[in-house]
Chain A
Amino acid sequence: MDSFDKNVFINCSFDDDYRELLISLLFTVMYLGLNPRIALERFDSGETRINKILKLISESRFGIHDISKIVSSKKDEVFHMNMPFELGIDYGCTKLLKGQWETKRILILGREQYRYHEALSDLSGSDIKHHDDEAIKLVKVVRDWFICEVFNKGPSHKRIWYEYNDFMNDLSNKLTTQGYELDDLETAPIPEIMSYMQEWLNKNNN
């Protein structure tokens, strides 16, 4: 696989209440030997966000788009429109571009199965996988999708989930030795956690 075939563009909320889902999603993708790409990975402040997103999408064969946040859960909550916007760009790439982009595959995730068709009716007929805001379900949905789309067979979702829990314990110990306090663990930068994740997988998952 070259880098395009291993890159997975992750389009989701970066809010605190999605953080644990994001970490479990990143772990699952990396556990399967793939390379998650997220907008948080690049800190070039001179680059506009949309150009950053376009580059990530164009470099990734796979796109995982969690549109849970397009439907507000509380009164007066602001809709997050970046997710459907970026999903549209990725979808356009698969349909309008030639060459390697014709091989792109897209996984659409949501909290509930049928909640989004009203807000985003263009998706009618599309298969949206749901995770009920539970990391354990997200791991299974993402793992099963990649097995069906790419690998045909692979480690079970149970194994990935158990090892994810092992990783979380080792991460907690590791960050503590790096000077983080327990309360800080919720705020460690995602790219730093991804770096530890890769190191842990290299050590534990040959």
Chain B
Amino acid sequence: MFMSKRSTHHVVKSPDGGWDVKKGGASRKSGHFETKKKAESWGRKVSEKQRTELVIHGKDGRIQRADSHGKDPLPPKDKK
């Protein structure tokens, strides 16, 4: 089963052109920007404030990177 991980914000290609920031699971955008750089900058501030993970997507939807700004509910297990 897919487990619910931490709360997320996503920087995604916008259907209206440019780039959107949206909260994970939301079907509407939180912010719209002309460039990906501006979307990332705004998304990072929101993500830090709300202690979520910021996920940066490529224009095809693939994950490029994720930056955590909150407490991970499923931290890596210590293998020692």
Q: Of residues 71 to 118 in A, which have CB atoms within 8 Å of B's CB atoms? A: none
Question: Quick one: CB contact mask for A162-206 with B, threshold 8 Å, 1 for yes?
Answer: 111110111011100000000000000000000010011001100
Q: How many residues of A contact B (CB 8 A)?
A: 28
Known: A20-B62, A199-B2. A165 touches B57 (CB 8 A): yes
Stretch among A33-41, A50-58, A119-127, A153-161 lining the B interface: A153-161
Question: Quick one: CB contact mask for B65-76 with A, threshold 8 Å, 1 for yes?
Answer: 010000000000
**Chain B CB within 8 A of A140 CB:** yes
Question: Closest CB-CB distance, B23 to chain A, in whole Å?
Answer: 10
Select B61's contact among A140, A159, A165, A199, beta carbons within 8 Å. Answer: A165
**Chain B CB within 8 A of A24 CB:** yes
Known: A162-B26, A200-B2, A203-B1. A168 touches B15 (CB 8 A): no
Classify chain B: how many residues form its interface, as a range.
Answer: 20 to 34
Q: Of residues 27 to 77 in B, which have CB atoms within 8 Å of A's CB atoms? A: 27-29, 55, 57, 59-63, 66
**Chain B CB within 8 A of A136 CB:** yes
Contact: B59 with A136, CB < 8 Å?
yes
Question: Closest CB-CB distance, A202 to chain B, in whole Å?
Answer: 9
Contacts of A204 in B (CB 8 A): 2, 25
Select A199's contact among B1, B29, B63, beta carbons within 8 Å. Answer: B1
Contacts of A166 in B (CB 8 A): 10, 24-25
Contacts of B25 in A (CB 8 A): 166, 204
Select B12's contact among A165, A172, A173, beta carbons within 8 Å. Answer: A165
**Chain B CB within 8 A of A134 CB:** yes
Residues of A within 8 A of B (CB): 20-21, 23-24, 134-136, 140, 157-159, 161-166, 168-170, 172-174, 196, 199-200, 203-204
Residues of B within 8 A of A (CB): 1-2, 5, 8, 10, 12-13, 15, 20, 22, 24-29, 55, 57, 59-63, 66
Given A135-B59, A136-B13, A166-B24, 11 more pairs with CB closer than 8 A: A140-B15, A161-B12, A161-B61, A162-B12, A162-B29, A163-B27, A165-B22, A166-B10, A169-B10, A170-B5, A199-B1
